[in-house]
Chain A
Amino acid sequence: MIVNSREVEIGNLKSEVKKYHDGGYRFVTETCLNLEDKFKIIYTFAIGYDLENIHIITDGKNVPSVSDIYSCALAVENEIKELFGVEFDGLAVDFGGNFMLGESSPISPQADIEIIRREKGGKNE
């Protein structure tokens, strides 16, 4: 299906996700995209075989975790945290950067911001 996602303000994210949860939707996944110096995170839900998507635009800091609403979101949020460096507030289980990457792995390897910083010879924060 062609994605037609609805933008949601970060402040309203949890209440929007709660509506899906209470409406009987199952959690499918979250997808993180680079947007120059920001990130877009798409939340995908399904009821039966139908999908619905919402998204937020964020600078990657203090993104409210939805893992207290859908506990299964903790896996993908830990992955996004490690691969993109997005910080989630209230993550049900925080694997501390050791869920998908090891201690010697590059930091935030899929985040454009980090890649640009490394290519310019800057240090990771």
Chain B
Amino acid sequence: MSDKSTIPFGPQHPVLPEPIHLKLVVEDEKVVEAYPAFGFVHRGLETLAQKKDFNQMVYVVERVCGICSCMHGQDYCEAIEELMGIEVPVRAEYLRTIWAELHRIHSHLLWLGLFADAFGFENLFMQTWKIREKIMDILEATSGNRVIISVNIVGGVRKDINSEQAKWILKELDEVERQLKDINDVVMNNYTVKQRTVGIGVLTKEEAYELGATGPMAKGSGVDLDLRTTGYAAYKYLDFEPIVEKAGDSYARNLVRMREIFQSIDLIRQALGKMPEGEISVPVKGNPPAGEVISRLEQSRGEVVYYIKSNGTKFLDRLRIRTPTFANIPALLKILPGSHLQDVPVLILTIDPCISCTER
């Protein structure tokens, strides 16, 4: 005889880096229903757009989330630049791309460490975070800060990368790549990792599309969408293809993220090799004209959508941020029912949840 019982999961839980609450209805050890609740770190940042001028808002959106901060700033600036008809110097486009890809690497490595820790693989957690430190060092050396690097401004970027720094970055990336290759076999072929990920939390391509999933969550299910291919920033000058896997399980999502790290290293090498000399910003005068704009880019977790409505003053009428984790919640709620209770922490981490982004 089996009875249904309800188990609260979070908001404080050892595997959760940020607070999310799930009400899990379980029958024996199997999840039959899952209901989420957020709001533990809701800050109302969108509303601040009506009280801070549009330049100050760059700093606010960078604080939507630490891990995605650089790309939040970039997307916001690109939206304002489109509204104001500002053309950013080509060198600034390259610099934005380099910092964005560095963020993608450190985000994926951070996720991989947390994911490994979720099923007790502490050594892998330690190794991935050790490798990640090299990326953090590059961020610090080039921007002056490790996490919230504040390089984007409306009209370009505020920091440059000189030729000495570029050489050093390439050397560091060689070392990061070597170390990643060492652990790649462990991540993708280890018995424990496979037992906990292969065939677990399957999301079909149709489900991923229908549920609006994005980023590695969608790419791991065969959805061939990566906004970088639209050619924003310097991606139009670089050679790459979206990374897509078809199995739709936790393993496929891991594989996408691992392969994206190597792809990001390649993109940074290309960008550093092709980056032209020149200005890194243009002067910006006046306020954004009245109008509405939507700007999107590919964050580590997927598509982020910025909607901005300007009224012609220095304050915006409305700023709305649709983050990738928000878009992936319906997909998470789809893969949880039918799973074993022991897999719930792994499945939550498999979407690489960013709760700060989700709640803003």
- Residues of B in contact (CB 8 Å), total 40
Produce 1/0 per residue, A75-97, CB < 8 A to B. 11000000000000000010100
Kindly name the residue among B44, B294, B295, B317 whose own CB sees the greatest number of chain A CB atoms within 10 A.
B294
B210 touches A100 (CB 8 A): no
A101 pairs with B212, CB closer than 8 A: no
Q: Which of B36, B46, B322, B331 is close to A28, meaning CB atoms less than 8 Å apart?
A: B322
CB neighbors of B among A55-91 (8 A): 70-72, 74-76
- Contacting pair A51 B209 (CB below 8 A): no
Q: Is the CB of B37 within 8 A of A98?
A: yes
**Complex contacts, B330 vs chain A, CB 8 Å:** 71-72, 74-75
Stretch at the interface among A9-17, A102-110, A117-125: A102-110
The contact string, 1 if C-beta is below 8 Å from chain A, for chain B 200-243, is 00000000011110000000000001010110000000000000
* Contact in complex: B212, A28 (CB < 8 Å): yes
B264-292: contact bitstring with A at CB < 8 Å (1 yes, 0 no)? Answer: 00000000000000000000000000011
Q: Which residues of B contact A1 (CB under 8 A)?
A: 82, 293-295
CB A125 to nearest CB in B, in angstroms, measures 21
Known pairs A2-B292, A75-B329, A110-B46; A29 contacts B227 (CB<8 A):
no
Q: Give the contacting residue for B309; candidates A33, A49, A53; CB below 8 A.
A: A33
A51 & B42 in contact (Cβ 8 Å cutoff): no
In this complex, the interface size class of chain A, counting residues with CB under 8 Å from chain B, is 20 to 34
Once A33-B317, A42-B307 are accepted as A-B contacts, the answer to whether A72 and B42 lie under 8 Å apart by CB is no
Q: How far, in Å, is B227 (CB) from chain A's closest CB?
A: 7
Given that A28-B322, A42-B307, A44-B294 are known contacts, is A49 also in contact with B230, CB under 8 Å in the complex? yes
* Chain B window 317-343, contacts with chain A (Cβ cutoff 8 Å), 1 for yes, 0 for no: 110101000110111000000000000
Given contacts A2-B82, A72-B212, contact A49 B227 (CB under 8 A): yes
By a CB distance below 8 angstroms, the chain A residues around B305 are 28-29, 44
* Closest Cβ–Cβ distance, residue B297 to chain A (whole Å): 12
Minimal beta-carbon separation of B118 from chain A (angstroms): 23
The CA of A72 and the CA of B333, in the complex, are separated in Å by 10
Tell me the nearest residue of chain B to A101, going by C-beta: B39
Minimal Cβ-Cβ distance residue in A for B320: A31
Of the candidates A48, A51, A95, which one forms a contact with B294 in the assembled complex, judged by CB atoms under 8 Å apart? A51
Q: Using Cβ atoms and an 8 Å threshold, which residues of chain B touch A100?
A: 38-39, 42, 359
B47 interface hit (Cβ, 8 Å): yes
Instruction: Find residues 52-89 in chain B having any chain A CB closer than 8 Å to their own CB.
Output: 82-83
Q: Does A26 sit at the interface, judged by CB under 8 A?
A: yes
- Would you call A72 and B211 a contact (CB within 8 A)? yes
A122 to B302 Cα, complex, angstroms = 42
A3 at the interface (CB under 8 A from B): yes
Cross-chain contact of B212 among A33, A53, A70, A95 (Cβ < 8 A): A70
A29 adjacent to B322 (CB under 8 Å): yes
Give the residue name and chain of the B residue nearest to A109 (CB): B44
- In chain A, positions 1-56 with a C-beta closer than 8 Å to chain B are 1-3, 5, 26-29, 31-34, 42, 44, 48-49, 51, 53
Known contacts A3-B291, A27-B212, A33-B317; 13 additional CB pairs below 8 A are A5-B292, A29-B305, A29-B320, A29-B322, A31-B322, A33-B318, A70-B210, A71-B330, A72-B330, A75-B330, A98-B37, A99-B37, A100-B42
Q: Which residues of B contact A (CB under 8 A)?
A: 35-40, 42, 44, 46-47, 82-83, 209-212, 225, 227, 229-230, 291-296, 303, 305, 307, 309, 317-318, 320, 322, 326-327, 329-331, 359
21 A-B pairs within 8 Å (CB atoms) are namely A3-B291, A27-B212, A31-B322, A33-B309, A44-B294, A44-B307, A48-B225, A49-B230, A53-B294, A70-B210, A71-B330, A72-B212, A72-B327, A75-B326, A75-B330, A95-B37, A98-B39, A100-B39, A100-B359, A109-B47, A110-B44
**Top 6 closest A-B pairs, CB basis?**
A3-B292, A72-B330, A29-B322, A72-B212, A31-B320, A72-B211
